Structure 1
Amino acid sequence: MSLSVAELTSELVRCHPTHRSQGVAAAIDLAAHALKAIGLDCEIRPYEGGPQITATHSFPDDGPHVIVHGHVDIEDVADEGGWSAPGLWQTGEVRAGRVYGAGTSDMLGGIAALITAIRRLAGQAELTGRITVQIAVDRHLGGSGTKALQNADLPRADLAILAEPTNRHVCTTAYGFARYHLTAHADGGPMAYAADESNAATHAATALLALDSANRTLQELYPTRQQIRYVLPSAIHAGDQYSAAATTATVDFAMALPPLLPEETALSIVTDTLIRRFTAAGLPMPAWERRAPHFAATSLGHQGFADLLREVNKGLQWCQYPCPSDAKVFQELGVPVVLYGPGDLARTRRPDEYVEIAELDECVETLYAALTRWLS
């Protein structure tokens, strides 16, 4: 008996496929079993970040080639304390119309929805073309896993559908991502004689204020309904002694880059803001460099299929996906993409992450209806 989309999501959560763990192989095996049960030609491909899947179904007559794609590895749960029940992050518990667990929204629910929709499509002998299911890993490393799946024996695709958690939206563009490492230097010295200019920790605090100010400027210049953040300070480190001023401080920060915001423009605003803040404080300018990973913004969307999704499901809206994704890999290959899947990005990497069963069912029905028409 085939698992429902909610049951399959729950089983994937129980595998707990955190990045480069044994759980990835368990989740891949589970997905492969489900795809083989449908009758797809399923190939598990070894990869350094964990096994990956390419599964195909060809209909009797020639037609479009569609790739449906998802990544199976999830972020680890660093702190279990915020979850409402012990172990809820890996039990896949189903209650009150929701499936709970780490990765339910991003994007184990999306993978379950893809497999369930393909199960229904595979039985339609009157359809044309070919569907390729790809389940990848290492999206967090610049899409390297997805790149490894795009080999010479894969026919050129006309469309790629990525099951990212789009919260009842259809996306034909996705944000890019850039990471930077900022370093400030100071003279140091004992606590009693530590002035602002001699304490690199003060420089780091000044940098944080400047980065936040740059973010507000970008939000004013490029407003979004969701108030998307463009500049995010993350890792911060200064000094290694309690009673001495830091001689070096580092601040890592990331930038979210929609297609209409060039990285150079965002950087110029960050630079100008840093100069103003550090000059006003009488501090020397810190240096910074770009670090990996780096994602280009994605703008090669398939508007025709996006319109079809919204035609078969009138409740869907349109937005730019505010996060990097494997869409960049398909853009580099010249394959237009649509991002659409169950769940909400705002729920991910948080305690009590969940996906609504209604969202899963809606996604399956929408993909099934749209692909039935697209492949007819």
Structure 2
Amino acid sequence: MTAEDARALLVQAVSIPSLSGHEGEVAAFLRDWMTEHGFQAHVDDAGNAVGERGTGPLTVALLGHMDTVPGEIPVRVDEHGVLHGRGSVDAKGPLCAFMAAVAALPPDALERARFVVIGATEEEAPSSRGARHVMHTLSPDMVLIGEPSGWEGLTLGYKGRLVARVSVERGNFHTAGEGHSAADDLTEAWFRVRAWAGRTAEEGGIFDAVQATIQDLQAVNDGVTQRASGTFGLRLPPRIAPGEAEETVLELLRDLLDVRVTFTGHESAVRHPKDNALTRAMRVAIRAQGGTPVFKVKTGTSDMNVVAELWPAPTVAYGPGDSALDHTPDERVDLAEYDRAVAVLTAALTRVAAGAP
């Protein structure tokens, strides 16, 4: 496995469009690549590209995702060795780094551990279909989640999520008369939710507070009925479970009689310990490449949130790229950083296997 091979893998993967729910072509490509590089590989019932190497008693799951958000970005490598394209950071870069690192592992590591790489479907969708499927098929001893952290970064946790769909419907009336419009009540609902989120921010930093955003707003009036609706996205800290946040929102809006609320996207926040065999191996490998390990927590969510309940194992998210470029029109990754991430992962996984029984 050369650096050129690893780079070619990433460029080709990024060149294949793979919106959430439409990952079939890239899954087949990744399966075939893994088969050609010593993996036992297949596409599972959820559409995940899954590849295994090694026969040892220690199981390491490397869970990345191959779907992307919409937005076409012409795929190119510029004169500075930077790959531009949708998914280059979020998260084909981390996933391909996993694949390249496992393909490069020495025979003794494969005798002591089993490495399972998963390119999951629909991480960018509320369904998280791929992760929810594979979490019931594996019981790993260690878990790496493929998300951009920067090659020196180790992400230990992600905030939780709750999505509230708020709607108001009432009969039309003259705007010169008394009363509140449907849009008035929807706006009042938002002000109350936002104020609650703001109060939680007074109790700690951003990772420990609720973040509230409006994802969409609509209002229509056909002359007979007024209808207004909005989607409020809530990012939740570890101390507030989605069920608790749901109860709070319902109580905040209880006296707004025409307001109806439905909830989706129930994801609990997760934060893993920083000192275990996996993080120690990653820190040693980062330092060996001349880097300074940095622990992080993220205000978004990832498949780490999904699998944490059934995978109570040492877990860290890792991958090349700047997460500030996720979902943006400027998404890009420096291929030199990608090379370093592959080297870090190869060394860390070798070290993990060496410590296996």
TM-score normalized by the length of structure 2:
0.85
Please tell me whether the aligned partners of residues 238 and 271 of structure 2 are also in contact (alpha carbons under 8 angstroms): yes
Name the Cα RMSD after superposition.
Answer: 2.9
Q: Tell me how far apart the structure 2 counterparts of residues 138 and 126 of structure 1 sit (CA, whole Å).
A: 30
Task: Name structure 1 gaps, 5 residues minimum.
Answer: 78-86, 279-283
Structure 2 counterpart SS, 1:121: coil
**Identity of matched residues, %:** 20
Where is the helix percentage greater, Structure 1 or Structure 2? 1
Pairwise CA distance, 1:125? 5.6
1:36–1:126 Cα change, 3 Å: closer
1:308–1:286 Cα change, 3 Å: farther
Structure 2 counterpart SS, 1:375: helix
Structure 1 counterpart SS, 2:157: coil
Match of 1:318 among 295, 304, 320: 295
Counterpart of 1:347 in structure 2 is: 325
Is 1:70 equivalent to 2:64 in the alignment?
A: yes
Counterpart of 1:149 in structure 2 is: 134
Please tell me whether the aligned partners of residues 238 and 246 of structure 1 are also in contact (alpha carbons under 8 angstroms): no
Please tell me whether the aligned partners of residues 197 and 210 of structure 2 are also in contact (alpha carbons under 8 angstroms): yes
Counterpart of 2:51 in structure 1 is: 55
Pairwise CA distance, 1:130? 0.8
Please tell me whether the aligned partners of residues 142 and 295 of structure 1 are also in contact (alpha carbons under 8 angstroms): no
1:44–1:126 Cα change, 3 Å: closer
Structure 2 counterpart SS, 1:74: coil
Q: Which residue identity does 1:130 align to in structure 2?
A: R
1:288–1:11 Cα change, 3 Å: same
Deviations 1:273-322 (A, max 9, x none): 668xx9xxxxx456343422322222455741123322332422112232
Please tell me whether the aligned partners of residues 56 and 133 of structure 1 are also in contact (alpha carbons under 8 angstroms): yes
Pairwise CA distance, 1:361? 1.9
Q: Tell me how far apart the structure 1 counterparts of residues 209 and 323 of structure 2 sit (CA, whole Å).
A: 12
Deviations 1:92-124 (A, max 9, x none): 444423211111111011111111111211555
Counterpart of 1:102 in structure 2 is: 86
Pairwise CA distance, 1:161? 0.6
Counterpart of 1:171 in structure 2 is: 155
TM-score normalized by the length of structure 1:
0.81
**Mean Cα displacement is larger for which, 197-206 or 207-216?**
207-216
Please tell me whether the aligned partners of residues 250 and 261 of structure 2 are also in contact (alpha carbons under 8 angstroms): no
1:356–1:290 Cα change, 3 Å: farther
Structure 1 counterpart SS, 2:187: helix
Q: Tell me how far apart the structure 2 counterparts of residues 27 and 121 of structure 1 sit (CA, whole Å).
A: 24
1:332–1:142 Cα change, 3 Å: farther
Q: Which residue identity does 1:221 align to in structure 2?
A: E
Q: Tell me how far apart the structure 2 counterparts of residues 217 and 325 of structure 1 sit (CA, whole Å).
A: 26
Q: What pairs with 1:1-376 in structure 2 (closer than 5 Å)?
A: 3-21=4-22, 24-47=23-46, 51-59=47-55, 62-77=56-71, 89-124=73-108, 128-139=112-123, 140-150=125-135, 154=138, 156-167=139-150, 168-191=152-175, 193=176, 195=178, 197-224=179-206, 230-241=211-222, 247-263=226-242, 266=245, 284=256, 287-300=259-272, 303-304=275-276, 305-314=278-287, 315-336=292-313, 337-376=315-354
1:67–1:301 Cα change, 3 Å: farther
Q: Tell me how far apart the structure 1 counterparts of residues 155 and 310 of structure 2 sit (CA, whole Å).
A: 19
Please tell me whether the aligned partners of residues 231 and 256 of structure 1 are also in contact (alpha carbons under 8 angstroms): yes
1:312–1:10 Cα change, 3 Å: same
Structure 1 counterpart SS, 2:308: helix
1:322–1:95 Cα change, 3 Å: farther
Pairwise CA distance, 1:179? 0.9
1:25–1:194 Cα change, 3 Å: farther
What count of residue pairs does the alignment treat as equivalent? 345
Please tell me whether the aligned partners of residues 165 and 230 of structure 2 are also in contact (alpha carbons under 8 angstroms): yes
Deviations 1:201-233 (A, max 9, x none): 2222333333333333222223138x9871111
Please tell me whether the aligned partners of residues 200 and 209 of structure 2 are also in contact (alpha carbons under 8 angstroms): no
Task: Name structure 2 gaps, 5 residues minimum.
Answer: none
Please tell me whether the aligned partners of residues 210 and 237 of structure 2 are also in contact (alpha carbons under 8 angstroms): no
Deviations 1:30-70 (A, max 9, x none): 212221122111122243xxx322211114xx341101111
Structure 2 counterpart SS, 1:131: strand
Deviations 1:241-276 (A, max 9, x none): 4xx59623112112111223334665576567668x
Structure 2 counterpart SS, 1:332: coil
Q: Tell me how far apart the structure 1 counterparts of residues 110 and 128 of structure 2 sit (CA, whole Å).
A: 35
Q: Which residue identity does 1:205 align to in structure 2?
A: T
Please tell me whether the aligned partners of residues 121 and 372 of structure 1 are also in contact (alpha carbons under 8 angstroms): yes
Q: Tell me how far apart the structure 1 counterparts of residues 217 and 160 of structure 2 sit (CA, whole Å).
A: 23
Q: Tell me how far apart the structure 2 counterparts of residues 117 and 184 of structure 1 sit (CA, whole Å).
A: 52
